[in-house]
Structure 1
Amino acid sequence: MQLDKLLQSQGFGTRKQCQILIHRGHVSINNDVVHDHKFRCNTPNFQFSVHGEKFSYREKVYIALNKPQGYECSHRTQHHHSVFELLPDHLIERNVQSIGRLDQDTTGLLLLTDDGQYLHQLTHPKKHVLKYYQIHTTEALSTDVIKQLQNGVELRNEQGLFQALNFEKIGERHYRFAISQGVYHQVKRMIVAVGNHVDALHRDQIAELKLEQLSIQSGEWCYLSESEYQSATVRAISENNT
């Protein structure tokens, strides 16, 4: 692949803009400045620098973000910041999209990608990928209410039952469970359905991918390795509690 085409594919601007970057000496390979925009690149494991910052060629990008409170999963927001403000320009140029959404007041693990097939794989309702949340409730949940959530509750204008899977009690008014459907405001609506409210909500795991393993603080992001982003696609064996 030509160097200008490669830079364009990596989000560094139009092909003309990438040619200008090269001609002005802002691109280097193996610490050597390259001025020829037709320089041939062998893309597997290819590394390069732009303005002194090192990059690796990535055909597709798979990103984990530790979403802070007060950010929306949208490019066009009205009342809050956008999660895309937390990403560098070259990723925005690649048109990365969030895989599902977290409410502005929900924190935790958010995945983003420019791979449409991967996005579909994680968001299709029939995929049943488990998403784990830590929930702080206004009132403590009784044993009967917990059983009700585990067995499944009805949500207004939705079909079927919505279960709290792999339920754990962490502390007083602090719980953790997984969901497999992912309808609008599902966890909050499930808690409302049993006569309570969510005070704080944090997603810490998607399938087998755990936020704590990624070592990213609130507001930080990282690229995912192949094994990491594939671990987020593991489907639930069943929707029964274990």
Structure 2
Amino acid sequence: MAEKERQRLDRVLAHMGLGTRKEIKRLLKEKRVRVNGEPAGDPGLYVLPGRDRLEVDGKPVEYRRYIYLMLNKPQGVLSATEDKLAKVVVDLLPPEYRAFHPFPVGRLDRDAEGLLLLTNDGKLAHRLLSPKKHVPRTYFAVVSGRVTEADAGAFRRGVTLNDGYLTMPGELKILHSGPESEVELTIYEGKYHQVKRMFEALGKKVTYLKRIAIGPLVLDETLKPGEYRELKEKEINALLDNPQPKPDPLIN
């Protein structure tokens, strides 16, 4: 591990959710923290996370740099880390996870629900959100109006939004067509309110929207709205590898 990765002991312990800086100073003062078997009383002591052996009250501290959480975002909650007026997704997490300062990867409309990835891994977030990567996002939607194969064709060609922007080709699967239709759709970019705006451009209105997949990551259907879990190792690896193909811009 590089020398530059040495960190202050109090910062490492705070990062692991073991208390505020003030609380950790008290732990150190009371000699309840050990580094490599020796009592540690200096909060400014530099350690190598993952290499030096840390203990608090005799229990080992397993250092983790990143966390990856799958959240089934409920309606009415903002995809943000803070807001003065509204509840945000980070508010749904306990202190031990908030200590890692996770943030939502991308946004999901306030009135939408479904899969949202929360992490503090900035590099992964950039890869998933980069317009150059074209990471697919899959949704289930209820639409007011009869969705037809002509609409599916429009999605395959790309839809011109009301502001003149032409979206990338998408995939629209009709599950039920009627006065109220049910569809599953996949898009490869994340413009503001894109799904709703695409249907609006086709003269229809989305009344319910749920994201069910981001790239290879699929929503765990056992999670109720507002519930979350850590990603499994194979899910993290799939996101890091990100083997999803890019859409063919020549689809018509």
Q: Give yes or no for TM over 0.5.
A: yes
1:234 aligned residue? 243
Q: What is the CA–CA distance in structure 2 between the aligned matches of 1:187 and 1:202, rounded to whole Å?
A: 11
1:64 aligned residue? 70
1:208 has 2:216 as partner: yes
Q: Which of the two has higher C-alpha Rg?
A: 2
2:113 aligned residue? 107
Q: Is the 8 A contact 2:142 2:206 kept in 1?
A: yes
1:220 has 2:235 as partner: no
The two structures, once aligned, show a CA RMSD in angstroms of: 3.4
Question: Quick one: which amino acid aligns to residue 174 of structure 2?
Answer: K
Which residue of 133, 137, 152 corresponds with 2:158? Answer: 152
Q: Does the C-alpha gap of structure 1 residues 236 and 158 become closer, same or farther in structure 2, counting only changes over 3 Å?
A: farther
2:203 aligned residue? 195
> What aligned pairs does 1:134-149 form with structure 2 within 5 A after superposition?
134-149=140-155
Deviation at 1:36, TM superposition (A): 4.6
Q: What is the CA–CA distance in structure 2 between the aligned matches of 1:59 and 1:228, rounded to whole Å?
A: 17
**Residue correspondences, number:** 234
Q: Which runs of 5+ in 2 are unaligned?
A: 1-5
Question: Quick one: which amino acid aligns to residue 199 of structure 1?
Answer: T
Q: Which runs of 5+ in 1 are unaligned?
A: 29-33
Deviation readout 1:192-237 (Å, 9 max, x if unpaired): 0100000000001111111137x42211111123421232333333
Q: Percent of aligned pairs with the same residue? A: 30
Q: Is the 8 A contact 2:31 2:41 kept in 1?
A: no
1:94 has 2:89 as partner: no
Question: Quick one: which amino acid aligns to residue 195 of structure 2?
Answer: V
Q: What is the CA–CA distance in structure 2 between the aligned matches of 1:48 and 1:185, rounded to whole Å?
A: 47
Q: What is the CA–CA distance in structure 2 between the aligned matches of 1:78 and 1:138, rounded to whole Å?
A: 33
2:169 aligned residue? 163
Which residue of 80, 93, 109 corresponds with 1:74? Answer: 80
